[in-house]
C-alpha cells in the first residue's frame, strides 16, 4: 500500500472517529435533550476521539519513513559477506546504492554480480515486509487509539480541556519552528565551517590576500595548492555594497522627504505603488537587467569618456543593487521622519525656518538614529544579495577598490563553490560554509543592531 | 538699544532671505529628482523588457508537405516507429523547396534552417493517426532559431557575413521560402508546452512553471498553517517572558537573514542529513517554507493585533474558553489579513532563486516534472539559466519568461490588494 493511500485511509478513519465520538457522548447522557449533563459540547468528544486516531498513527508513519531506510541498509550490510563489510565507507556506500538501484529497477554502475543480485532480492523482501508491517501497525494504532478514546467518553469527562491542551501544544510547537530554523542555520553552517577550519587555519581564511579555491584531485596535479584567503571577497562585497549605498541612501532619503513634505497627494499616490513594484521585482530579474542592459551601458559610457571598464564591473552590479534597495531605505526613513513629534516640526516652522531648514536642522537630526538603523538594515540586505552579483559581477577575486574593475563577492563565491556536483567533504565545498558563516554573523549583527535602533527610536517619541 | 537690535536682525534676515529661498528650491528640486530615479528606472526597465521579450511569444513556422512514406514508417507492412527516421522525412519534405541544392555541404547548410522540432511533430502526428501512412500532409512546423531571428529582424542582414550566424546563401534560401509563402509567424506554443531544451525554438517554461507550482504548493501547505499558528500563539497565548521575547527577536532577524543562507541550511540538513533527493520540488518547497515563515508570521501577527479587544472580551464574557475565543472569533476576523500575508510570502517565494541554486534546482532538466520528487527547476532559476546562454534567441525567451514571472507576481499582488481592501474595515 502506498503511503498516500495509507494517509488518505487514516484521514477517513479520523472523520469516522469524530462522528462516532460525538454520537457516543450524546448517547451516554441519553440524547440531545439532556446535553447539559455533558461536561463539554459533543463536538469536543468527537475531536478527542479523532485526535486519538490520528496523532499516534501519524507519528508512527513519520517515524517509520525516517528510520526505515537506515534500518534496511544496516540489515543488508550485516547480511553481506565479511569481505564486503570491511570495505571503506565510500565503497560500501556505492555497493549499497547499487543494491538499492537494482532492487528498484534503476541503472546500476558496473557489472551485476551474484552477490549484488542476492542482496537486491533481500532488499526487495525487506522493503515489502516493512511496508506490510507499517500498514498493519498504523491501522492497529488508529483502531486502538480510537477504541481507547471511545471508551473514555463519559458525561463527566473533560474533553474540551484535553482537546485544548493538544491545540496549545501544536501552537507552541509551531512557534518554536522559527527558533529551530535559527538553530539549524547556526549548527549546519558552523559544523561545516569547523571542518573547513581544520584544513585551513582561521587566520589564513580571514586575513589571506589570495583567493583561488582549487583543491587537488590528484596529488601531482598542477596548481594543486588552493589558497583560501577571503580578503579579496570581503573587499569586493564592501565595494559593491558601498556603491549600492551611494545610490540608495541619498535617493531613498530624498524620496522619503519629498513624498512626506513637498509632493501633492496625487504624486504620492502614483509614486508609492511604483516604489512597491521596485521592491517586489525578483532579484534574478534585476540581475538579468544588470548583466544585459546596465553593464554594457556602463562599459560604453566609460569608453566614451576614456575609461577602461571591465564588462563585469562592480559599478554596474552596485548601481542596480542600489536601485533595488531604494524602496527599503525610503520606507524606513519615512517611518523615522514620521516618528518625530509634530510639535517639533510646527515649532521650527513657526520660528520662520523654511521647510528645507526644518527638515535638515530639526527633523533629520531627531530622526537620525532611526535612519541610521534603517541604513544598517539596507547594508545587511546588500551584503547578502546574491542573484544580482552572481549574474552581473565577476568571478575573479581581484583585490581592488576601483569600481570599474570586476570584483567578486562572498555570495558569488558561495554559489560558484556549491553549484554543480562536487565531493562534499573537500575544502572547496566546505569553504562555502565558512563564507556562509561569515555572511550570517555579519548580517545578523547588522540586523540586530539595526532593528533595535529602529524600534527604540520609534518608541522613544511615541 | 533693543530697538536697534530688532532693526538689525530684520535687515540680516531680509538680506539672507534670497539665498535661503534658493536653497529651499534647490532642496525641493533634489527631492523631485530623487523621486523620479525609481520611476525612470522602472520605465526603462519595462520598456527594454517588453521590447526584447514580446517577440518571443510568436515564432516562425515553416510549411512542410510531409510524405508519410510506407518504406520509412511501415517497412514490414505494419506500423513500426521504433527505427523510423522522422528527421529524414522532415528533411526530404524541406528539400522540396530547394530542388537545386545538391552538394553535401550545401545540404548540411540547408538543414541548419530546419529545427529538430519537425521530427517530433511528425512522430506525434503519426502516433495520433496511424492512417496517415502513405499520404502526404501539409504541416506547419517550427523553423530553426536562426531563421526565426532573421524573420524577426533580430539579426542584421547588413552585417558582414562572418559576423552573423547565417551565411548569404542561407539568407537567400530563407528569402525564397518567404516568397513562396512557406514561412509564417504564429503564436509560440512551445514556450508554454515544452520543458527546457538546448534548441531555443523548442525551449519552453512549462517544466519550470510546474516545478515552481509544486514548490509553492508545499510552501503554502507548510508555511501558512505553521506561520498562522505561531502568530496566534505569540499574540494570544504566549506569556510575556524571556522565551517569547527571544522568539520575537528571532523571527524579526530571521526575516532579514540573506536567502542564500537558507540554501546552505537546506543543503546541509535536507540533502546531506535527511537524504532528500537533490533538485526535487520537495526540498525546494521545504527551503522556501522556512524562508517565507517569518514573513507570514509577521503579517499574521499584525492582522491578529488589529482585531479589537472588545471582541475577545465579549466572547470571554459569554463563557468561552481562551481557545474558543481565539478559534471562533479572533481567527475568523483576522483571516483575510493572514491570507494577505500568505500571498505576500508566496510571491516572495515565487521570485526567490538564490537558495534554490544551493540545493541543485539549477540543473538542465528537459522533462516536465510530474510529482514532488521528480527533478525540477523553478521559473526564476530558468531565467537565470537562460540568461547565461549566448544565443540571441535565448535572450528573447529570457525576457518572455520574466514577463510571465512578473505577470504571476502581479496577479498575486492584485489578490493581496483586494484582500487588503477587505481587511481595512473600521471597527
- Over residues B343-396, the pLDDT tens digits come to 989 999 999 999 998 887 777 888 888 878 788 889 999 999 998 887 778 888
Any A CB within 8 A of B190 CB? no
Residues A355, A131: Cα–Cα separation, whole Å: 76
Residues B352, A282: Cα–Cα separation, whole Å: 7
CB contact under 8 A, B272 and A424: yes
- Over residues B96-138, the pLDDT tens digits come to 788 777 778 887 778 778 777 777 778 788 778 777 777 788 8
Distances (CA, A) of A224 to A67, A227, A364, A396, A428: 41, 9, 55, 18, 12
CB contact under 8 A, B297 and A178: yes
Helices A114-152 and A42-79, axial angle in degrees (round to 10): 160
Q: Given the C-alpha cell 529602529, which residue does it identify? A: A454
What would you measure as the largest C-alpha separation in chain A, in angstroms? 97
Residues of chain A contacting residue B268, judged by C-beta atoms under 8 Å apart = 188-189, 191-192, 433
Determine the residue among B236, B260, B414 to mutate to test chain A binding: the one whose Cβ has the most chain A Cβ atoms within 10 Å: B260
Chain-centre distance for alpha carbon A54: 30
Any A CB within 8 A of B297 CB? yes
Any B CB within 8 A of A144 CB? no
Helices B104-111 and B168-179, axial angle in degrees (round to 10): 60
The partner residues of B140 in beta bridges, in order of sequence, read: B63
- Measured between CB atoms, which of A168, A175, A415 is closest to B234? A175
Residues B367, A345: Cα–Cα separation, whole Å: 63
CB contact under 8 A, A419 and B398: no
- Measured between CB atoms, which of A280, A411, A447 is closest to B409? A280
* CA B287-B291-B297 angle, 5° bins: 135
CB contact under 8 A, B238 and A175: yes
Determine the residue among A159, A253, A288 to mutate to test chain B binding: the one whose Cβ has the most chain B Cβ atoms within 10 Å: A288
Any A CB within 8 A of B243 CB? no
Helices B379-387 and B331-351, axial angle in degrees (round to 10): 20
Q: Considering Cα of A128, then A134, then A137, then A138, what sign does the dihedral take?
A: negative
Q: What's the CA dihedral at B153, B156, B161, B166 to 10 degrees?
A: -20
Cβ-contact B372, B281 below 8 angstroms: yes
Residues of chain A contacting residue B44, judged by C-beta atoms under 8 Å apart = 293
Residues 207-236 of A with CB under 8 A from B: none
Nearest-by-CA chain A residue for B325 = A164
Q: Considering Cα of B377, then B383, then B384, then B386, what sign does the dihedral take?
A: positive
Return the DSSP state at A259: I
Residues of chain B contacting residue A281, judged by C-beta atoms under 8 Å apart = 45, 351, 406
CB contact under 8 A, B42 and A191: no
The pTM (predicted TM-score) of the whole model is 0.87
- Measured between CB atoms, which of B267, B322, B405 is closest to A282? B405
- 3-class secondary structure, A106: coil
Cβ-contact B223, B296 below 8 angstroms: yes
The predicted complex's ipTM stands at 0.88
Residues B358, B278: Cα–Cα separation, whole Å: 10
Select from B199, B182, B6 the least CA-distant residue to B120: B199
Determine the residue among A96, A163, A282, A337 to mutate to test chain B binding: the one whose Cβ has the most chain B Cβ atoms within 10 Å: A282
Residues of chain A contacting residue B288, judged by C-beta atoms under 8 Å apart = none
Cβ-contact B323, A164 below 8 angstroms: yes
The partner residues of B136 in beta bridges, in order of sequence, read: B67
Residues B134, A161: Cα–Cα separation, whole Å: 78
**Total residues found in chain B within this entry:** 427
Instruction: Tell me the pLDDT of chain A (462 aa) as tens digits.
Output: 577 788 889 999 999 999 999 988 888 888 778 888 888 888 899 999 999 999 999 899 889 888 888 888 888 888 887 777 777 777 777 778 788 777 777 666 667 777 778 888 888 888 888 888 999 999 999 999 999 998 888 888 888 999 999 999 999 999 888 889 999 999 989 988 998 888 888 888 888 888 877 655 555 555 555 778 888 899 999 999 999 999 999 999 999 999 888 888 898 888 888 888 888 899 999 999 998 889 889 989 988 888 888 878 889 999 999 999 999 999 989 888 888 888 999 999 999 899 999 999 999 998 888 899 999 999 999 999 999 999 988 777 788 888 888 888 999 999 988 886 566 667 778 888 999 999 999 999 999 898 888 877 766 665
Q: Given the C-alpha cell 575573479, which residue does it identify? A: A396
CB contact under 8 A, B257 and A386: no
Residues of chain B contacting residue A424, judged by C-beta atoms under 8 Å apart = 272
Cβ-contact B65, B95 below 8 angstroms: no
The partner residues of B183 in beta bridges, in order of sequence, read: B62
- Measured between CB atoms, which of A175, A355, A418 is closest to B230? A175
Amino acid at each position: 500500500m502506498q503511503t498516500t493511500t495509507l494517509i488518505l485511509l487514516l484521514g477517513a478513519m479520523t472523520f469516522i472517529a469524530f462522528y462516532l465520538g460525538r454520537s457516543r457522548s450524546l448517547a451516554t447522557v441519553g440524547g440531545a435533550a439532556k446535553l447539559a449533563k455533558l461536561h463539554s459540547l459533543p463536538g469536543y468528544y468527537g475531536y478527542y476521539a479523532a485526535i486519538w486516531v490520528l496523532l499516534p498513527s501519524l507519528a508512527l508513519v513519520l517515524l517509520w519513513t525516517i528510520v526505515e531506510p537506515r534500518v534496511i541498509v544496516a540489515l543488508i550490510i550485516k547480511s553481506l559477506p565479511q569481505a564486503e563489510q570491511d570495505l571503506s565507507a565510500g565503497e560500501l556506500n556505492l555497493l549499497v546504492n547499487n543494491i538499492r538501484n537494482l532492487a528498484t529497477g534503476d541503472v546500476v554502475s558496473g557489472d551485476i554480480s551474484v552477490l549484488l543480485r542476492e542482496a537486491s532480492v533481500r532488499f526487495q523482501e525487506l522493503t515489502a515486509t516493512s511496508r506490510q508491517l507499517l500498514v498493519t501497525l498504523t491501522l492497529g494504532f488508529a483502531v486502538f487509539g480510537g477504541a481507547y478514546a471511545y471508551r473514555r467518553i463519559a458525561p463527566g469527562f473533560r474533553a474540551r480541556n484535553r482537546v485544548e491542551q493538544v491545540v496549545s501544544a501544536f501552537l507552541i510547537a509551531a512557534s518554536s519552528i522559527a527558533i529551530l530554523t535559527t538553530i539549524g542555520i547556526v549548527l549546519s553552517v558552523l559544523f561545516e565551517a569547523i571542518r573547513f577550519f581544520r584544513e585551513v587555519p582561521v587566520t589564513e581564511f580571514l586575513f589571506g590576500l589570495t583567493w583561488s579555491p582549487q583543491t587537488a584531485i590528484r596529488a601531482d596535479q598542477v596548481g594543486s595548492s588552493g589558497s583560501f584567503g577571503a580578503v579579496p571577497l570581503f573587499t569586493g562585497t564592501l565595494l559593491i555594497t558601498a556603491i549600492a549605498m551611494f545610490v540608495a541612501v541619498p535617493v531613498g532619503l530624498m524620496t522619503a522627504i519629498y513624498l512626506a513634505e513637498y509632493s501633492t497627494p496625487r504624486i504620492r499616490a502614483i509614486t508609492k505603488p511604483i516604489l512597491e513594484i521596485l521592491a517586489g521585482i525578483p532579484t534574478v530579474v534585476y540581475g538579468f537587467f544588470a548583466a544585459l542592459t546596465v553593464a554594457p551601458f556602463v562599459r560604453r559610457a566609460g569608453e566614451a569618456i576614456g575609461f577602461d571598464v571591465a564588462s563585469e564591473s562592480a559599478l554596474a552590479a552596485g548601481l542596480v543593487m542600489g536601485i533595488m534597495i531604494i524602496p527599503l531605505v525610503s520606507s524606513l526613513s519615512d517611518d523615522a521622519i514620521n516618528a518625530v513629534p509634530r510639535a517639533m516640526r510646527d515649532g521650527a516652522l513657526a520660528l520662520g525656518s523654511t521647510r528645507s531648514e526644518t527638515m535638515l536642522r530639526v527633523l533629520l537630526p531627531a530622526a537620525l538614529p532611526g535612519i541610521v538603523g534603517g541604513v544598517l538594515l539596507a547594508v545587511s540586505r546588500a551584503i547578502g544579495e546574491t542573484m544580482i552579483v552572481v549574474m552581473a559581477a565577476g568571478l575573479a577575486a581581484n583585490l581592488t577598490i576601483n569600481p570599474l574593475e570586476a570584483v567578486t563577492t562572498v555570495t558569488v563565491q558561495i554559489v560558484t563553490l556549491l553549484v554543480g556536483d562536487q565531493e562534499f567533504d573537500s575544502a572547496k565545498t566546505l569553504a562555502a560554509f565558512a563564507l556562509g558563516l561569515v555572511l550570517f554573523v555579519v548580517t545578523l549583527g547588522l540586523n540586530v543592531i539595526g532593528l533595535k535602533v529602529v524600534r527604540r527610536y520609534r518608541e522613544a517619541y511615541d | 538699544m533693543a530697538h536697534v537690535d530688532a532693526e538689525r536682525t530684520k535687515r540680516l534676515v531680509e538680506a539672507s532671505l534670497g539665498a535661503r529661498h534658493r536653497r529651499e528650491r534647490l532642496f525641493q528640486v533634489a527631492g523631485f529628482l530623487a523621486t523620479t530615479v525609481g520611476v525612470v528606472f522602472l520605465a526603462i526597465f519595462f520598456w527594454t523588457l517588453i521590447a526584447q521579450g514580446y517577440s518571443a511569444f510568436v515564432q516562425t513556422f515553416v510549411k512542410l508537405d510531409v510524405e508519410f512514406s510506407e518504406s520509412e514508417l511501415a517497412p514490414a507492412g505494419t506500423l513500426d516507429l521504433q527505427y523510423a527516421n522522422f528527421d529524414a522525412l522532415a528533411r526530404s519534405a524541406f528539400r522540396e523547396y530547394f530542388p537545386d541544392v545538391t552538394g553535401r555541404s550545401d545540404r548540411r547548410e540547408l538543414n541548419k534552417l530546419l529545427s529538430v522540432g519537425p521530427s517530433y511533430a511528425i512522430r506525434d502526428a503519426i502516433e495520433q493517426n496511424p492512417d496517415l501512412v502513405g499520404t502526404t500532409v501539409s504541416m506547419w512546423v517550427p523553423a530553426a532559431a536562426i531563421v526565426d531571428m532573421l524573420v524577426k529582424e533580430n539579426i542584421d542582414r547588413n552585417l558582414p557575413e562572418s559576423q552573423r550566424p547565417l551565411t548569404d546563401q542561407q539568407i537567400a534560401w530563407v528569402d525564397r521560402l518567404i516568397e513562396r509563402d512557406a514561412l509564417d509567424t504564429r503564436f509560440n506554443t512551445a514556450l508554454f508546452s515544452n520543458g527546457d531544451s538546448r534548441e531555443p525554438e523548442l525551449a519552453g517554461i512549462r517544466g519550470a512553471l510546474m516545478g515552481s507550482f509544486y514548490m509553492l504548493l508545499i510552501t503554502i501547505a507548510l508555511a501558512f498553517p505553521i506561520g498562522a499558528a505561531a502568530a496566534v500563539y505569540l499574540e494570544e497565548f504566549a506569556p510575556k517572558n524571556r522565551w517569547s521575547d527571544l522568539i520575537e527577536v528571532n523571527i524579526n532577524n530571521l526575516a532579514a537573514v540573506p536567502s542564500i543562507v537558507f540554501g546552505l541550511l537546506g543543503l546541509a540538513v535536507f540533502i546531506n542529513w535527511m537524504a532528500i533527493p537533490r533538485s526535487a520540488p520537495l526540498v525546494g518547497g521545504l527551503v522556501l517554507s522556512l524562508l517565507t515563515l517569518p514573513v507570514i508570521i509577521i503579517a499574521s501577527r499584525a492582522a491578529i493585533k488589529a482585531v479589537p479587544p472588545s471582541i475577545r472580551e465579549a466572547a470571554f464574557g459569554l463563557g468561552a474558553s481562551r481557545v474558543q475565543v481565539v478559534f471562533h472569533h479572533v481567527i475568523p476576523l483576522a483571516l483575510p489579513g493572514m491570507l494577505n500575508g500568505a500571498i505576500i510570502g508566496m510571491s516572495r517565494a515565487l521570485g526567490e532563486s538564490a537558495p534554490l541554486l544551493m540545493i541543485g534546482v539549477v540543473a538542465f532538466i528537459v522533462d516536465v516534472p510530474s510529482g514532488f520528487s521528480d527533478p525540477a527547476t523553478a521559473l526564476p532559476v530558468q531565467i537565470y539559466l537562460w540568461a547565461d546562454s549566448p544565443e540571441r534567441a535565448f535572450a528573447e525567451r529570457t525576457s518572455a519568461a520574466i514577463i510571465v514571472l512578473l505577470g504571476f507576481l502581479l496577479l498575486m499582488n492584485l489578490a493581496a490588494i483586494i484582500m487588503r481592501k477587505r481587511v481595512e474595515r473600521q471597527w
